[in-house]
A and B are shown apart, each in its own frame.
Chain A
Amino acid sequence: GENVEQHPSTLSVQEGDSAVIKCTYSDSASNYFPWYKQELGKRPQLIIDIRSNVGEKKDQRIAVTLNKTAKHFSLHITETQPEDSAVYFCADPFNKFYFGSGTKLNVKP
């Protein structure tokens, strides 16, 4: 989308390694930052989100960190498993609900 840039576009890791995906947004007023996972042939689903009043949020093997000064937020997946293979999207819902271009994560067993 117009307001959010996502990197990398593809990421290949060995099972058990960590994966990090980064998104940069443009509007300093943005205050809610979600991450979605889309498995092949399925709809996107929220996996974790963070609001601007905290810097980090964890849910088991996944975490999201937020740097409001630099205007970026990142998805961290630790101890990756083959079932983590999917496309991951960030979004900046503040103005219009635009999504990043997506990151295709491949976890090799």
Chain B
Amino acid sequence: NAGVTQTPKFQVLKTGQSMTLQCAQDMNHEYMSWYRQDPGMGLRLIHYSVGAGITDQGEVPNGYNVSRSTTEDFPLRLLSAAPSQTSVYFCASSYRAGEETQYFGPGTRLLVL
């Protein structure tokens, strides 16, 4: 199993550009989530999904959209990038919500100029 994969590893955007961060898992996990981690800071939940077709907001959802059309994929879209979105983005998944270990992807470093 590849586990949780994320692409790209690093991206530079200009203010106002849009892009999609990809996340995929091959463990048949129902629960998937996106976090952002600013330098020296903790993990803040952006959006999450408890299964295909179901998504919900976390702590910091503004400026981001998600969709979950398949169990395997959970892309994160930045609609109009801002410098405040410069961060490391982690995707994570677990078998179910609430009572299971989350497995993290390697992260995507995003720089918005």
A89-B42, A97-B48, A101-B42 in contact; A43/B58 too (CB < 8 A)? no
Whether A98 pairs with B45 at a CB distance below 8 angstroms is yes
Question: Which one, B21-29, B63-71, B76-84, B95-103, is touching chain A?
Answer: B95-103
Whether A94 pairs with B59 at a CB distance below 8 angstroms is no
A1-B59, A98-B59 in contact; A45/B104 too (CB < 8 A)? yes
Whether A43 pairs with B104 at a CB distance below 8 angstroms is yes
Number of A-B contacts (CB under 8 A): 61
**Complex Cα distance A95/B58, Å?**
10
A89 to nearest B CB, angstroms?
Answer: 6
Whether A32 pairs with B98 at a CB distance below 8 angstroms is yes
Residue of B nearest to A102 (CB): B42
Summarize B's interface: helix, strand, loop or mixed: loop
Residue of A nearest to B105 (CB): A43
**Complex Cα distance A1/B97, Å?**
16
Q: How large is the interface on B (under 10, 10 to 19, 20 to 34, 35 or more residues)?
A: 20 to 34
Summarize A's interface: helix, strand, loop or mixed: loop
B90 at the interface (CB under 8 A from A): yes
Whether B102 pairs with A97 at a CB distance below 8 angstroms is yes
A1-B59, A43-B106 in contact; A97/B42 too (CB < 8 A)? no
A34 to nearest B CB, angstroms?
Answer: 6
Binary CB contact string for chain A from 1 to 27 against chain B (1 if under 8 A, 0 otherwise):
110000000000000000000000000
**Complex Cα distance A91/B100, Å?**
11
**B residues neighboring A (CB under 8 Å):** 31, 33, 35, 41-45, 48, 56, 58-59, 90, 92, 94, 97-102, 104-107
**A residues neighboring B (CB under 8 Å):** 1-2, 31-32, 34, 43-46, 49, 51, 89, 91, 93-102
9 closest pairs, A vs B, by CB? Answer: A43-B104, A99-B43, A32-B99, A101-B42, A102-B42, A46-B101, A93-B98, A44-B104, A94-B98
List 9 A-B pairs, Cβ < 8 Å.
A31-B99, A32-B100, A34-B101, A43-B106, A89-B42, A93-B102, A97-B92, A98-B59, A102-B43
